[in-house]
């Protein structure tokens, strides 16, 4: 028996974009809410009430300058909770340095291979999960320096990854805006949603 693939998004518009290219017989798509807590709770509920062969966190995101331009499709090889830790006089201390756990989940290698095959022009790298997304140039620079492998930031991936547990996990994003000052006029939300639908159609042909 072949179990379906579970794709979780934050909001309904993202879910609709993914569904547009998905085969409902092989892919289940649900919007679970914004932020890591809602994403984790919603994903856990879905995994507890159904059998799925893998779970993908999908949606739009901000892209780091010089790494993932607006309009790009991103495949997250690692999901990192970039604000999980503590402040200190010397700067931010990640949860690992406090000895309380991990802020990083690696995506499933098999899923990454299938996704990069289906989307050969996608940018691959780390995707940061933040409860408060970046709104200043200073924060963008700090994050880029602290996470040199980061190509994008969003708000759900780490939560989905933690809920997935032993279920294979990966993250798929399309870039609507650069990470940094919040210039809503420069955001390309409709284009990013359309790109998510296009990426999904190509992806499910291989992974669905």
Torsion from C-alpha of 97, 56, 5, 205, nearest 10 degrees: -140
Q: List, for residues 115-162, the tens digit of each pLDDT value.
A: 999 999 999 999 999 999 999 999 999 999 999 999 999 999 999 999
Angstrom distance (rounded) from CA 47 to CA 6: 9
The residue to which tokens 């830790």 are assigned: 85
Using 50, 70 and 90 to split pLDDT, how confident is the model at 203?
confident
Is the CB of residue 11 less than 8 Å from the CB of residue 34? yes
Residue 99's closest CA among 118, 86, 80?
86
Backbone angles phi, psi at 38, to 5 degrees: -60, -40
Which one of 1.10.760.10, 1.10.3720.10, 3.40.50.150, 3.40.50.1580 gives the CATH number of domain 5-207? 3.40.50.1580
Q: Is the pLDDT of residue 204 over 50?
A: yes
Average pLDDT, the chain: 92
Q: Hey, where are the domains in the chain?
A: 5-207
Non-local CB neighbours of 152 within 8 Å, separated by 6+ positions: 61, 62, 63, 64, 67, 68, 74, 76, 123, 125, 127, 128, 173, 175, 179
Q: What is the pTM of this model?
A: 0.93
Non-local CB neighbours of 140 within 8 Å, separated by 6+ positions: 64, 65, 134, 178, 179, 180
């Amino acid at each position: 028996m072949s179990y379906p693939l579970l794709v979780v998004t934050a909001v309904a518009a993202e879910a609709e974009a993914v569904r547009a290219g998905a085969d409902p017989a092989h892919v289940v798509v649900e919007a679970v809410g914004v932020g890591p807590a809602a994403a984790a709770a919603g994903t856990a509920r879905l995994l507890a009430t159904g059998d799925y062969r893998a779970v993908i966190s999908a949606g739009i995101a901000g892209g780091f300058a010089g790494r993932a331009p607006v309009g790009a499709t991103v495949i997250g090889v690692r999901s990192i909770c970039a604000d999980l830790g503590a402040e200190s006089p010397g700067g931010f201390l990640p949860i690992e340095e406090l000895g309380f756990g991990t802020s990083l989940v690696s995506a499933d290698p098999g899923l990454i291979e299938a996704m990069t095959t289906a989307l050969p022009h996608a940018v691959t790298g780390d995707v940061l999960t933040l409860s408060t997304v970046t709104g200043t140039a200073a924060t963008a620079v700090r994050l880029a320096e602290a996470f040199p492998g980061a190509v994008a930031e969003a708000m759900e991936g780490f939560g989905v990854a933690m809920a997935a547990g032993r279920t294979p996990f990966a993250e798929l994003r399309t870039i609507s805006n650069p990470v940094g000052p919040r210039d809503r006029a420069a955001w390309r939300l409709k284009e990013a949603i359309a790109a998510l639908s296009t990426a999904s159609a190509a992806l499910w042909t291989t992974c669905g």
